[in-house]
Structure 1
Amino acid sequence: MGITSEFVREQKRYSKNEIRKVFRLNDDEANKFIKNLKAYGVLKTVKNNSEQKELSDLVDEDFEVSDSETGNDDCLYVFTYVGVITTGSKIIKSYPKYMLHNDKPLEEMKQILKVLERYGSKQEMVHVFNGDGDNRSFNLLAVILYLLNDYHEYGIYNNSEDIIEINGDGEILWDKTINESFALISNNRPYYMELYTEKTVNDEMDFIKRLHECILTECNIQMKNSGLLELFDMVPVNLSEETLGDLGGRDYILYRIHAELNVQFNTRKQILLKTLYAYVNHERTLEDNDSISMYGTNNFNLVWENVCAEVFDNKLNTELGRLDLPVKLGSRYDPKQKLIEVIEKPKWCGWDESGKVFIKTAKETLIPDLISIQDNNGEKQFIIFDAKYYNIQLEKEKELRSQPGIGDITKQYLYQLAYKQFITMHNIGTVKNCFLIPTEKNHIIKKGVAMLDMLSALGLEEIQIRLLPATYMYKHYLTRTMVRIEELEL
């Protein structure tokens, strides 16, 4: 059986028959395929009706219609994942829901995978397993990607040895030379005929080095055969002609890795050794691996929030004393206090047994996605952004659909209210509210505004809607550069 590698769109509604056709499955294979994906939370089931077919976003009440309750033909299936999933010989390339006009977005997917890599780079561990309990499976794809990325960043595993030579090319060991060799004295100056030198030599035949090269080469072959080497935009790796069998049986290789772990105290090398151990212990190919392997996320909305926060210079976690304000920071504020901490926390009042009032302060409060403070025509502008991962339909001749909810709108107004005193005290000229929504278009779209008259009457700003070209945003995110807020024309 050959490998089948196909694109699907996140949150698009697929019938069982469509899934069969896309991945070239018979009925029994399709049932197993669907059951496996649902078990790991990357495929959801919704009712097969006209209303669902028109939607592009899911809400909680959509989830988990049982196939057995409705029958396969009465269900639609929704991928709730962005990234790459492998199950046996099937490779699923799930791209974000806002991409509506390109069903094979190879170049866009390459960029998205780099965004996912950067987003997940803060974690210093490898997700070796997916799921838990009966649904726990070895995440071979994540392990392979970690090993290849680690190699491209740090190179091959090596053990080095410091060698002392006489008159070698390395660094001169003056203490040893002075103490252990003879000197000729001329004009009261010592001259040494033999200099002790030290150099570091890598052990080219080190077992772990050979094992690392062998596994990397094997990983490269698997990625190439699966068509994933191009998708992840990786340079081919061909370092060894040896196989794992040439290095010994599995138990022996695991013993050697364990022995190396006992004497290795470098954190990066420890993580690498543990990952090599996991790979050898679960040795199999992507094609033969019936369990699920995944690289991506069920929560691409969090990725979008992180992208927006970085490219628009989020100030929420900036200390007040470091903000560029029009006037000196007010005395009521601590310079070490962060902007996010300015928002008031709810207070709960109670009565004790004697009837005396006591007050408790809650730990949680409103948390905006991001706030920027910028110069605008000679005055400071306080901008409250909310990154929204929606496919909003706001067209004159069409029904309003897939828009942020009432809670999103009221919170956006409340964010401005929460900062009103801070803004007034520091002579900040204007305030802007804005939803940031991704689009596959290549330019910024001024989509409209959202408002509640009763809150606008309090002098609060209506919420502007901007559709931002995702590829443009990702480019800045990956290069760690900022987008000029003026481009939004708020």
Structure 2
Amino acid sequence: MHIEPICLNDSQFYSINSFPTISDKLYTYPEICVVYEKSFQFKFTGILVINDIPVIVFPKNYKLPMESKDIIDQAGTLIRVFLRYRNEPIHELDENTYLFGDKNNNNSRITTAIRIMEDYRMYGYLHRELVISSTTRKGRIDWAATVNKTIPTVNHNRVVYDAPIIRCSMVDNENIVYKLHRYVISQCIKMWGWLFGINLSNEMEYEKLPCPITEAIFSLKAELRNVYVQREINVINMLISYLTAESGCEKKYNKEILGTQYFNIIWESICGYLFNNKYSVLSSLVPQPEWESKIVSGRISQRPDVFAVDEKRLYILDAKYYNFKLNLPGWHDVVKQLFYRHTVILNLRKKRGIKLLPKDTEVKNAFLFPGDEDEVLQYIGRVFVNEIDDLGEVKAFAINQKMAMQTYAYRDNDNYRKQLLKELGKNV
């Protein structure tokens, strides 16, 4: 058996009576969970472990499926979105507390457990072997020991060793590294087995920590000095990280948090991956406004979310993480996109300097919202300034959020990404 996760949504209200432990443990964290008199509401997306129960908080407006299996699959996708996003090169400072943890929140037991489970599913336990001598097991004959320790017989003028000594290897079940790996795997399966479809066997259920955690960590660090296989180095480091976090968790009131209050930033990264963001290469196409003053100094920067290039088109994409059925981009967002396009076109037409794109490149604008429709790219509408054609327009589209997160999390489905760009080209 394993623990089933609790799956909730960001910004949705839940009864305290239905989830008393969650509200009790998080009432001192109003920045991620607001607790009212009879209800509570997350202002956060991510994964929490409360009293050893995993709680998955999906993004706001995310449409949870009806089937338990589908919910678990999509919870796994969300977890892997965060595991990938943590490895992105740049993060906002405000994200770090719950994305990477701090002195009050060590979330490495969550992240390490997933990596340990993935390794275990592919390669199994770390084994240490004993070499033994036997006359009954199968293996290679140890001729030196056989000649020195056994008495041969003579048969047809030939020397025959009827009971040769065999050298063979067997798993050392008492090895401390093997025991610690088994213990950690059993703990990971109890909490995260649902994510991998692995049930806890009767044998695993009774795995015990073979020694105090401090002694276990010391033994693993000592083992590292004698290990040269990269996979073993990685696994031992993960075991050290997990046990260190487990020790800290016992002192931190059984609460671990991995996530963000700023899923809109992650949505930007998702859209950037889906459309193969080229902004880092083409950023010089975007001129920066400058202040000239003898009294004050200041800088203004303009930075589009995503630059997507397809043949002779440049798409300036703005990732918007909210419900387009309730809210639409306002004046600031629309004017910003129109100005991006205007200044990029002027830069492209300049005769001087290095040409990153052809002068006749067509520049188009679009907003990208999360959606739940099955179609690849749902056209929502467009915004423009009437009778001012030179400014162009900004079209709005919704991308199936489940498919977008899955593609980002697993770095797969290039055909889907190509199809998105193709559909964008048809509609912009």
Task: Calculate the TM-score normalised by the size of structure 2.
Answer: 0.70
Match of 1:229 among 179, 190, 193: 193
Corresponding position: 1:260 with 2:229: no
Corresponding position: 1:439 with 2:371: yes
Give, in angstroms, the shift of residue 487 of structure 1: 1.7
Match of 1:342 among 261, 282, 285: 285
Structure 1 spans left out of the alignment, 5+ residues: 46-66, 163-167, 170-200, 318-337, 353-358, 394-400
Aligned to 2:397: 466
Are the equivalent residues in 2 in contact too, given 1:433–1:464 (CA < 8 A)? Answer: yes
Superposed counterparts of 1:331-370, under 5 Å? 338-351=281-294, 362=299, 365-370=301-306
Give, in angstroms, the shift of residue 292 of structure 1: 1.9
CA distance in 2, matches of 1:124, 1:268: 20
CA distance in 2, matches of 1:383, 1:437: 15
Give, in angstroms, the shift of residue 143 of structure 1: 3.5
Aligned to 1:372: 308
Superposed counterparts of 1:166-181, under 5 Å? none
Corresponding position: 1:20 with 2:16: yes
- Matched position secondary structure for 2:379: strand
Instruction: Please tell me the residue identity of whatever aligns with 1:152.
Output: R
Aligned to 2:324: 392
Match of 2:84 among 121, 131, 136: 121
Are the equivalent residues in 1 in contact too, given 2:50–2:254 (CA < 8 A)? Answer: yes
Instruction: Please tell me the residue identity of whatever aligns with 1:368.
Output: P
Instruction: Please tell me the residue identity of whatever aligns with 2:184.
Output: I
Corresponding position: 1:99 with 2:62: yes
Aligned to 1:448: 381
Match of 2:51 among 67, 77, 88: 88
Aligned to 1:457: 388
Aligned to 1:355: none
Aligned to 2:418: 483
Give, in angstroms, the shift of residue 122 of structure 1: 6.6
Corresponding position: 1:144 with 2:113: yes
CA distance in 1, matches of 2:26, 2:82: 28
Are the equivalent residues in 2 in contact too, given 1:142–1:293 (CA < 8 A)? Answer: no
- Matched position secondary structure for 2:62: coil
CA distance in 1, matches of 2:107, 2:86: 19
Instruction: Please tell me the residue identity of whatever aligns with 1:80.
Output: K
Instruction: Please tell me the residue identity of whatever aligns with 1:469.
Output: N
Q: Provide closer, same or farther for how the CA distance between residues 427 and 161 of structure 1 changes in structure 2, counting only shifts above 3 A.
A: farther
Show CA shifts across 1:105-141 (max 9, x none). Answer: 752552353254155337579x9997545x4356543
Instruction: Please tell me the residue identity of whatever aligns with 1:437.
Output: F
- Matched position secondary structure for 2:18: helix
Give, in angstroms, the shift of residue 434 of structure 1: 0.6
Aligned to 1:60: none
Are the equivalent residues in 2 in contact too, given 1:129–1:136 (CA < 8 A)? Answer: no
Match of 1:207 among 153, 158, 176: 176
CA distance in 1, matches of 2:329, 2:100: 31
Q: Provide closer, same or farther for how the CA distance between residues 203 and 102 of structure 1 changes in structure 2, counting only shifts above 3 A.
A: closer
Aligned to 1:403: 328
Superposed counterparts of 1:274-313, under 5 Å? 274-281=237-244, 283=246, 290-313=253-276
Are the equivalent residues in 2 in contact too, given 1:312–1:372 (CA < 8 A)? Answer: yes
Are the equivalent residues in 2 in contact too, given 1:435–1:465 (CA < 8 A)? Answer: yes
Instruction: Please tell me the residue identity of whatever aligns with 1:404.
Output: P
Q: Provide the identity percentage.
A: 19
Instruction: Please tell me the residue identity of whatever aligns with 2:381.
Output: G
Give, in angstroms, the shift of residue 465 of structure 1: 0.9
CA distance in 2, matches of 1:103, 1:289: 35
- Matched position secondary structure for 1:373: strand
- Matched position secondary structure for 1:347: coil
Structure 2 spans left out of the alignment, 5+ residues: 89-96, 132-138, 141-168, 351-357
CA distance in 2, matches of 1:449, 1:407: 16
CA distance in 1, matches of 2:362, 2:229: 52
Give, in angstroms, the shift of residue 351 of structure 1: 4.9
Instruction: Please tell me the residue identity of whatever aligns with 1:428.
Output: D
Q: Provide closer, same or farther for how the CA distance between residues 118 and 249 of structure 1 changes in structure 2, counting only shifts above 3 A.
A: same
Are the equivalent residues in 2 in contact too, given 1:138–1:291 (CA < 8 A)? Answer: no
Corresponding position: 1:35 with 2:27: yes
Give, in angstroms, the shift of residue 79 of structure 1: 1.1
Q: Provide closer, same or farther for how the CA distance between residues 311 and 365 of structure 1 changes in structure 2, counting only shifts above 3 A.
A: same
Q: Provide closer, same or farther for how the CA distance between residues 216 and 30 of structure 1 changes in structure 2, counting only shifts above 3 A.
A: closer
Q: Provide closer, same or farther for how the CA distance between residues 105 and 413 of structure 1 changes in structure 2, counting only shifts above 3 A.
A: farther
Are the equivalent residues in 1 in contact too, given 2:58–2:78 (CA < 8 A)? Answer: no
Q: Number of aligned residue pairs: give it.
A: 368
Instruction: Please tell me the residue identity of whatever aligns with 1:9.
Output: N
- Matched position secondary structure for 2:221: helix
Task: Calculate the TM-score normalised by the size of structure 1.
Answer: 0.62
Give, in angstroms, the shift of residue 449 of structure 1: 1.7
